[in-house]
Every structure is written in structure tokens, then in C-alpha cells.
Amino acid sequence: MPLLEIDDIQGIILFGYGRLRSACYLLLQIAEPVASRAWLKTAEFSSAHFDPNTTDRAVNIAFTPAGLSRLGLNDAVMADFAGEFLQGMTGTSHRQRTLGDVGDSSPDGWSWGGPRNPEPHVLLMLFGRDDTVLAAVVQDLEAALPRAGLSLIARLDTSWLPKQREHFGFRDGVSRTDIDGFHTDARPENSIAPGEFILGYLNAYGQYTQRPLVAPEGDPQGLLAAAPDDPNRRDLGMNGSYLVFRQLRQHVGAFWKYVDEQAKRIPGIVDPNATVRLASKMIGRWPSGTPLVVAPTVDDPARCDENEFFYYRSDDPHGLKCPIGAHIRRANPRDALDPEPGSDRSIDVGKRHRVLRRGRTYGPAVAESMEVPDILAAADTGGDRGLHFICFNTQIGRQFEFIQHTWLNNPKFDGLYEDDDPLVGDRGGSHGKPGGTFTVQAEPVRTRVTGMPRFTRVRGGGYFFMPGIRAVRFLGSLGSR
Amino acid sequence: MPYQEALTIVAPIRPGEVDAVKRVLGTIPDHIDAWDVIPFDRLPRLHFARLVVFDEATDLDGQTIAAQLALMTNVDAPLDAHLNDLAGTAGAGLDTVFGGCAGYPDESHRTPAERLRFLQRYTHDAAAFYVNRQWRSVDQIRNEETLRREIGTFLDSADFSHHSADALRKAIRDFVGGRADLRWALEPAEPPGLGWRIRNLLHLIEHVGIALLLLPPAILLAPILLALLRSHERADVPDTSAAPAESIDRLRADEDFWVHNQVVAAGAFKPGLFRQVVTTVILRTTDFACRHIYNRGSLSGLNTIHFARWVAMDEGRRMFFSSNYDGSLESYMNDFIDKAAWGLNAIFSNGDGFPRTSFLFCGGIRDEKAYKRFLPTRQVQSRVWYSAYPYLTTKNVANNAAIRAGLSGQMNADETRTWLRRFGLGNQLPASGLVARILDSVPWDRLCRFSK
């Protein structure tokens, strides 16, 4: 297993920068390619090689196909990028249909990244230890933009909610996706081939994912490394990754109102904690983060970081603890799916559909405490809050889009009938009835809630390519031949 | 209750008529709700139907193959009744669709009898035919879904949490028995008929007999056959070209409206006597396996396929594969790679340009990059597509059948608990037969490591 070139991989791919609490994202257009290239040659971008104790800021960069073309990358090289990336998140009606970007999540109504918005070329991700540091980073960059030939389209701010919660009130980011050879403490069941997330390394099928390679004469300064699977050519993809960005607005008030009404209606569940229990069944974890598989009946906050569990192997094959349709069971089914649930084969097949999640929340919390009773009591004034969902993968179709369509939006997931993901599902109705259903497997028989509205809406999004740092310098050199 | 059949009509389109035929057919998104030219939803016993245009092509010898129009249906027996429905009920539509085909009756002779003659003339028997589960009629599938929905509403109507499993099963049975429109479900579904079972048994005996006869010479010749196979595999030329992005987009545009999807792929057989023999043996074996081994809802680990067929065309120069399955093409391809590569390699590696296999079962589809690039180069667009139950997966259908089966007969406590689970979740499929389980447990990954 070759070691990852952490000096060349941009830091956000391998780390969430948990100590850099403040962040914002800038969407930019390349107004003057010559100036932009000159800037790319020397600007500092953060690699994954840093000391978290002393680092107080980070800057990472990614590009859309339009941005790469604008920099002068020729069409023949461009053609070897992933088809999904070249077409874009909003590129076809089929993609919109499968991602669930329809109705009031349709790209026509997006605030960025849609057909009615200016087309982004560059995504800059800025991080700082606190708001003061971030402000300085932003100020420096904004000062540099004119010189860099870049114009700002939009600035997307983030928020850091207390207790590592997301807006619905649940602890998020407990589950970590580990990388073979990089996370040395990883359990084999949760450790994935690096090529699933970083181009230029072997993927879960033992192959090098297709990526753009450049003939030596296309890289006269020898900035790029040789491709490991084609040493005569230079690897533009090496140490890069595809970044999937979706701004998901969360309707916190609507979520809790629905859950609260339903919890009081469901026969059999008549206790004051019914609301939290039903919501937790939908997520698969208690608000503290503790998984239901570990603590099926009451929350056990002491185990909030617990991530070493399965479904079949943890004695929950039928969803009696964590429902089959729960968000975390769909987003990462672990050992729950064919072939042979509970087997190593099942786990191996699941490993071919993983992503590295690196998003952050945005917008103010509904209640500062982030505790459910306070969220319930607070009036959701309908402000814009949610998640800047960001993930990295190398095969968008087999990883991000598969998870979104085959697992989250699919009402038939693992033998269900009309249940899409309770949290993020698109209520697409491909089961023949509008509205979502959520089934709570139980004995002697299941209960379920129906007519569930959509709780998250897509406000913007796009597919980006985050190159290795050498490749950034190469892009900066494109005009100079 | 009848068994299921696959009807395939492939007829040449008259020169100059291809565009007109395509205009009549349109594309799947043009008529996503209903297509009024042939009213498939009014044809009884019909599970699936589709219309496909195979464009003009050249075979491996450079000979031109004229464009052809194909109608494929999956239908409850008897097939004759279905042919009569097509020639009669759907006659006007058939005229519109097939009017541009060579050999279609002149306008003055378009009677049911003449149409029937045309259909029979261009019928192609499938070399291999897969049914998720034989002996489940379209009426049964739809009625059992209604049954499940109605019981579901009943279960929502009150608090059953304090019922014992037995008491709850009785309550459900009482509910069904009290409903005149559901009472039929208290009787178990009719088992396969005696005639069919005898024919099936004879088929089994005949083919096992042939296999036993062929086995000794095959074992004797094994070293030679393996050497021949390897030399052919080494000489194979995989097609590494990629389909144009526009044609991939056009295919994607037809997909994922429902939980079902369809695929058709066509290609030339590899040339030569050796490959011809291998192909014949493999397709025969496939058909046998579909009928006798993989007949309980899983085709070597693939449990999302409703129907599939392999049909030889153009005097045996080409073959097409066609299936109706659940989920996206991406998930279908991943299933092929992850769950059933060995069997699919054996079948599809006889097609020209297929990713290189070794020892018939290894390599091939396991090369994800090559396979996902190859498939779109052989895919053919389905222009019209009909499903009688587009919102039901194979797992849903099987679970509904198990729900109905559990309304009658005796159950012990464990069986009752398992049965009641089916109202919340339908992922417990019937166990495969012994031979299927043995085949599915072969560690192909490990064996194939030695094949390189």
C-alpha cells in the first residue's frame, strides 16, 4: 500500500479541520485567466500535512469544468474527467430526477449553481481558528481577488453549533470513514481503499479510476507526477478528488411539528419521550449521538461516540432497534444488505459506496442549547438554516449518486415499500403515492407514520474537482508554453 | 394459475421506413404515463412489454444487417391467447407499429389471421429465459398488493401492541375474511399444475441425462478444451472504445421514472466453431439453471430481476439480452460485478468485444472500468416500455405472496412472529435451492486469483 502523498493532497479531503471552527466558502468566476493562472502558481493552499496544534487557518480550492476550461485546459484532457463532473449536478433531467432535485428543490429555484445563477468556476474554502482569524483570511483573499483575476459570485457562511449538533438537534459527524494505510487505528470493516476518495491510488476494485492524464509535452515544466498506471504520462488527477456540494436547507420547525403530532397519534407509544423517541428512530441515533443499536430503548449519552456497531452482527437484522429506514442505516448500511447480510462479503460490497463527509452547518440555531425540548419550544421563524453538505469521492455515480438514489431516496430500500429517507428523502413518490412513509419495525407488528412532508430542500449545489497541489500549479502554468 | 412465457417478435423494417417507425414509437419519456398506440394496459395477462428498434448494423464479416423492429412481452400462459390478443384487440396498433416492416400484411389484408401469421413468422424463441418466480400471474401480483395495502390500513387503525402474535394473526384473518373483496386470500395460491410439473421434470431428466452423457468425454478432453479456451481468450480483442456521451445521455433519459428499469444489449457472437460450441452449451446451461436451479427469486445472487431473456438473432450472428429489473442501471451493473460476475462472464464473454475473461468465469465483468465502459457501447434503446406493476419490486412481490400464504394453514409461534414482520419489512426471500446455494458459495474471488 503506497503511503498517501499528504504534502500534495489538499487538507480538507483528509481532515474536517475540527479545530478551525470558523469557515466560509467563496464561489468565484475567472474574469481574467492570465491573472488567475499567475495567482494559482504562487498562492498558498493547505495540504493535509499540517500540525493541528499550531495551524490556525486553511485555504483549499476546487474547480468546475467551466473553470478548468477557462484556465485553458484543452478539451481532449477535459474529456477524461468523470462524466458526472463534466455534465454537472444539474446537467440532465435524469440526474435531477435521481438526486431528488425536483419540485421545490429544482435547480431553477436554487440560490447558486442552478441554470438561472451565474456559473461558478472556482470554489475557495476558507477556515480559521475563530471568527477573527477567518475574517483576516477572508480579508487577505478579497484583497487578492482583483489581482487574481477572480470575481466573487457568492459567499456562503457556516455556523458552528454547540455539542457537535446539526440543526434538527442531533449530534452529527460521529461516523468516520477511514482510509487504508492512512488511519492506522481503523477497524478493517470500516477502512476503505484510498482510491475511492483520492485519484491516483487503487480503489475498492483494485483499479485506478479513470482521470485525466497529460502527455509529457503537455507538461513541459514537469510539474505533474508520473501516472502510476501509465508512467509515460503525467497525472493531472493524482491526489485530487471530486467534491460534491449541496446546500440543504433544513425545515426544523416542520420536522419537529410533524414528529410531535405523529408521536402523539401512534398507538402504543404514549409517554412524554415519544416525540424524541420517534425522531431518534428516524435518525438511528439519539440526540446525544448514541446509536439505537447500542441503546435501543433509552438514550445513553455516555456512548455518544460509539461507532463500532453493525446491524446483523449487532443483533438487529429486522430493524427492531434501529429501523430499516432510519437515516444512518440507509446512508451506511454496514453489514445489512445483500449479499448475505452479516457477512464479510456484504461489508465489502458496502465499501464500494462510501464518501468522505466534510460539510458544515450554516445559519443560526433555533435554540442555543441545541437540546430537543428547547428546539420544540422555540418558534422556528423560518429562517434559512441547514447543512452545507460536502463530500469527496472518485466515482460520483457509484458513490455519492448511488447513496443518494439507491439508498436515501429509494422507497424500496432493503425490502421496504414506500419509505424514503425520513430526513433527507425527496418524497419522489416512485412507489405510486405522494408523501413519505416511515415504518418502525416492532413486535408484534410494525407501526408507521405516513404523509410525511419533505424536511430538507436543496438550495444550491455543484460538482467540483479538487486537484492535488502540484496539479494546481500545473493549472497555473497552462498559458506559458 | 398459469406459468409465464416470453414472446419475442423481430421483424426487418423496410428500407426507408426506419425513421417513420421511430416516429410512431417515440421514446419512453414521451409517453411515460400511457401509450395509446398499442393499449398494453388493456391486454390481459401481460406483465411487461417493450418495443425496440435495432438499427442497421454490420456483422463481423462486414455484411449489412437491415434495421429491425422487436416486440418483447412477458405474459401468463397460454401464449396463443396472447398472440390472438395482439392480432385482435391490439390489431390496429399493431398495424401502425409494424406496418413499416417487410412481410406485414397489406392494408387490404389486415385481418387478425393475417397478423397472427406475421407474428408467428417472426417469432424468435429465447435461447434462455429467466423468470423471478414461475407461476405467479399478473392478476395474483396485483391482487396480493391490494391485499397488503388493505391489511396495512387495518393495522394502522388500532393499537395492536398488546396483542399476542397469535391473536394478531387471527385478527388479520378475521379482517380479511370479513371483506368480500379480499376473502379469496384466505385460500392459498394455486400451486403449479400437474402437467407443468411433469413437463418440468421431464425437462430436468432430459438435460441431466445429456449432461451425464457429455461429461465423460468432456473430462477426457478437459486439458485440450481448457487449452483451446485459454488460447481463444488470449486472442480475444476487447473493445475498449467508449460510447459517445450523447448516446449515454439518451439512454439515461429513459431511466428511473419508476422503481423498474429496462435494459437491452445486443452484440455479435465471437466467430469460430469453438466459440459457437461454448456459446450453445452455456446458453443451454443458463436456460436450464434459470428453470431448475435459480427459480426462487435469485439469479446467482441477483434478486432484482423480474424477467430476462437471451435471444439469438440474424441467423445466429448476433444475440440480444433484455431484462426488467429494480433500481438504477448503476446499481444493476454493480450487482453484476459484485454478486454474479462468474455466471455473467460465462454467458457474455461469448459476445464480441467483451472485457477479457480468463477460464471463462474470471476477469471480464470484474474489471469495473472496462465493463462500465463496454456496456453502453452495446446497449439498445427501448422506445416503448410497459410494466403492469411499475411500483413493485421483486422483493415486494415475493413478500406479498408470503403475506397471502400466511393467511391460511397452521403456524407455530416463531412462524407467526416472522410472518407478522412482513407487514413492516419485506427483505426475507425464500431460501434458494441446494444447488443454487452451493454455486453461490463458491469463493470466486479467491479462485480467480489463480487464474491470471
User: What HEC string does A382-405 produce?
Assistant: CCCCEEEEEEEECCCCCCHHHHHH
Residue in chain A closest to B249 (alpha carbons) equals A92
User: Would the pLDDT of A296 be above 70?
Assistant: yes
Tally Cβ neighbours within 10 Å of residue B51: 25
Provide DSSP, A157-208: E----GGGB-TTS-B------EETTT-TT--GGGEE-GGGTSTTSB-TTSSB
> Which residues of chain B are within 8 Å of residue A207 when distances are taken between CB atoms?
367-369
d(CA B406, CA B410): 8
Residue B445: per-residue pLDDT: 83
Give the C-alpha separation, A376 to A101, whole Å.
29
Distance from CA of A34 to the nearest CA of B (A): 31
Closest CA–CA distance from residue A406 to any residue of chain B (Å)? 7
pLDDT of residue B346: 95
- Nearest CB neighbour to B368, from listed A205, A416, A446: A205
Q: How far apart are CA A441 and CA A420, in angstroms?
A: 15
Nearest residue of B to residue A401, measured between CA atoms: B330
- Does A211 touch chain B if contact means CB atoms closer than 8 Å? no
The answer to whether B303 contacts chain A (CB < 8 Å) is: yes
Instruction: Kindly report the backbone phi and psi dihedral angles of residue A378, in degrees, each rounded to the nearest multiple of 5, phi listed first.
Output: -75, 145
Q: Comparing C-alpha atoms, which of B299, B323, B294 is closest to residue B310? A: B323
Strands B318-326 and B305-313: antiparallel
Count of pairs with CB atoms under 8 A, one residue in A, one in B = 138
- In chain A, which residues have their Cβ closer than 8 Å to the Cβ of B338? 339, 349, 352
Task: Decide if B249 and A410 are in contact by the 8 Å CB cutoff.
Answer: no
Give pLDDT, residue A264: 85
The answer to whether A196 and A404 are in contact (CB under 8 A) is: no
A209: chain B residues, CB-CB within 8 Å: 369
Task: Please name the helix (run of DSSP H) or strand (run of DSSP E) that holds residue A42, with its range, or none.
Answer: helix A33-42
Minimum Cα–Cα distance from B303: chain A residue: A338
Task: Find, among B291, B86, B133, the residue nearest to B205 by Cα.
Answer: B291
Residue-wise pLDDT tens digits, B153-202: 999 999 999 999 999 999 999 999 999 999 999 999 998 889 999 999 99
According to the model, what pLDDT value does residue B377 have? 97
Q: At what angle do helices B79-87 and B112-121 cross, to 10 degrees?
A: 120
Residues 381-410 of B with CB under 8 A from A: 390-391, 393, 395-396, 399
B427–A93: do the CB atoms touch at under 8 Å?
A: no
Cβ count within 10 A of residue B10: 19
Residue A25 parent element (H or E): strand A22-30
A448 reaches B (C-beta below 8 A): yes
Q: Are A309 and A300 in contact (CB under 8 A)?
A: no
Across A12-21, average pLDDT: 96
Is it the case that residue A351 has pLDDT exceeding 80?
yes
Residue range A197-210, pLDDT digits in tens = 999 999 999 999 99
Peptide bond into A444 cis (omega under 30): yes
Cβ within 8 Å, pair B423-A209:
no
DSSP line for B290-330: HHHTS-SS-BTTB--EEEEEEEEETTTTEEEEEEEEES-HH
Measured between alpha carbons, how far is B426 from B413 in angstroms, rounded to an integer?
19
- The residue with cell 429517507 is A421
Mark yes or no for CB contact A92/B253 under 8 Å. yes
The answer to whether B329 and B344 are in contact (CB under 8 A) is no
CA angle A52, A62, A153 (to 5 degrees): 110
Please state at what angle helix B413-421 crosses helix B165-177, rounded to 10 degrees. 60
Q: Comparing C-alpha atoms, which of B161, B134, B144 is closest to residue B407?
A: B144
DSSP alpha helices (H): ranges in A220-369?
252-265, 274-283, 327-331, 344-350
Contacts of B403 in chain A (CB under 8 A): none
Contacts of A93 in chain B (CB under 8 A): 253
Name the residue among B45, B93, B112, B15 with its Cα closest to residue B384: B93
Q: Cα-Cα-Cα-Cα dihedral of A339, A340, A344, A345, to 10°? A: -20
User: DSSP letters of B348-380?
Assistant: HTTBTTPPPEETTTEEGGG-HHHHHHHHHHHB-
- Residue range B37-62: average pLDDT? 96
Q: Where are the domains of chain B?
A: 4-126
Q: Domain residues of chain A, as ranges?
A: 11-245+461-476, 251-354+405-457
Which residues of chain A from 131 to 170 reach within 8 Å of chain B, CB to CB?
A: none
R_g of chain A computed on alpha carbons: 22
Please tell me if residue A464 touches chain B, with a CB cutoff of 8 Å.
no
A36 with A475: CB under 8 angstroms?
no
The matching CATH number, chosen from 1.10.3720.10, 3.30.450.20, 3.40.50.300, 3.30.70.100, for B4-126 is 3.30.70.100
- Interface contact B427-A444, CB threshold 8 A: no
Residue A430 has pLDDT above 80, yes or no: no
Report yes or no: B163 at the A interface, CB cutoff 8 Å. yes
- DSSP letters for B111-153: -HHHHHHHHHHTB---SEEEESSTT--HHHHHHHHHHHHHHHH
Q: What proportions of chain B, in percent to the nearest 5, are helix, strand and coil?
A: 50, 20, 35
| B230 CB-near residues (< 8 Å, 6+ apart) | B358, B359
| Grid cell in block for residue B292 | 431448475
Q: Is A199 on the interface with B (CB under 8 A)?
A: no
pLDDT reported for residue B395: 97
Inter-axis angle of helices B368-378 and B329-339, nearest 10 = 130
Do residues A436 and A413 make contact, with C-beta atoms less than 8 angstroms apart?
A: no
Cell numbers 453489514 correspond to A335
pLDDT tens for each residue of B391-430: 999 999 999 999 999 999 999 999 999 999 999 999 988 8
**A196 in contact with chain B, both atoms CB, cutoff 8 A:** no
Q: Determine contact: B331 vs chain A, CB below 8 A.
A: yes
Q: Provide the chain B residues 215-254 that lie in CB contact (below 8 A) with chain A.
A: 245, 248-249, 252-253
8 A C-beta contact, residue A158 and residue A18: no
Which of B 138-157 lie inside 8 A of A, CB atoms?
Answer: 148, 152, 155-156
- Determine whether the interchain pair A445/B420 forms a contact, defined as Cβ–Cβ distance below 8 Å: yes
Average pLDDT, chain B: 95
Q: Return the C-alpha cell found at A17.
A: 479541520
Q: Give the span between the Cα atoms of A355 and B318, in whole angstroms.
A: 40
Q: Do B423 and A442 make contact, defined as CB atoms within 8 angstroms?
A: no
Q: Confidence band (pLDDT; 50, 70, 90) for A480?
A: low
| Residue B29 reports pLDDT greater than 80 | yes
Interface-testing mutation among B421, B422, B428, with chain A (most A C-beta atoms within 10 A): B421
Partners of residue B326 in chain A, C-beta under 8 Å: 412
- In angstroms, the CA B45 to CA B85 distance is 10
Residue B200, H or E segment: helix B194-220
Closest residue by Cα to residue B401 from B105, B73, B50, B143: B143
Interval B271-278 mean pLDDT = 95
A360: enclosing H helix or E strand: strand A360-362
User: Which of B150, B255, B259, B338 is most worth mutating to test chain A (most A CB atoms within 10 A of its CB)?
Assistant: B338
Q: What residues 332-351 of chain A have any CB closer than 8 A to a CB of chain B?
A: 338-339, 349
pLDDT digits (tens, 9 = 90+) for A254-271: 999 999 999 987 655 557
A75-89, A425-439, B347-361: range with lowest mean pLDDT: A425-439
Nearest residue to B9 (alpha-carbon basis) of B58, B67, B51: B51
Could B330 and A406 be called an inter-chain contact, meaning their C-beta atoms sit closer than 8 Å?
A: yes
- Is the confidence at residue B1, as pLDDT, over 90? no
Q: What is the pLDDT, as a whole number, of residue A266?
A: 66
What number is the average pLDDT over the span A75-87? 96
State the smallest CA–CA distance between residue A339 and chain B in angstroms. 7
Residue to test with chain B: of A207, A445, A448, A450, most B Cβ within 10 A = A445
ipTM over 0.90: yes
Local structure of B287: helix, strand or coil? helix
The reported pLDDT for the residue numbered A273 is: 87
Does the pLDDT at position B451 exceed 90? no
Residues of chain B with pLDDT > 70, as a percent, come to 100
The CB-side HSE value for A366 (13 A sphere, CA atoms) comes to 28
Shortest distance, CA B36 to any CA of chain A (angstroms):
21
Q: Nearest CA to CA, how far is A468 from chain B (Å)?
A: 23
Query: Nearest residue of A to residue B254 by CA position?
Result: A94
* Selected residues 62-121 of chain A with any CB under 8 Å from a CB in chain B: 83, 86-87, 92-95, 97-98
The model's pTM is 0.97
**Under 8 Å between Cβ of A205 and A229:** no
Q: How many CA within 13 A on the CB side of residue B149?
A: 17
Hey, how many other C-beta atoms are within 10 angstroms of the C-beta on A272? 8
The answer to whether A21 and A59 are in contact (CB under 8 A) is no
Residue B100: CB atoms within 10 Å:
22
Chain A residue numbers touching B155 (CB-CB < 8 A): 445-446
- A178-179 and A191-192 beta bridge pairing: parallel
Give yes or no for residue A382 having a pLDDT over 80: no
What pLDDT, in 10s, does the model give residues B301-352?
Answer: 899 999 999 999 999 999 999 999 999 999 999 999 999 999 999 999 999 9
Spell out a b/e string for A356-382, using b for 16 or more CB atoms within 10 Å of the CB, else e.
bbbbbbbbebbbeebebeebbebebee
Residue B42, SS3 per DSSP: helix
- Signed CA dihedral, B148, B152, B155, B157: sign only: negative
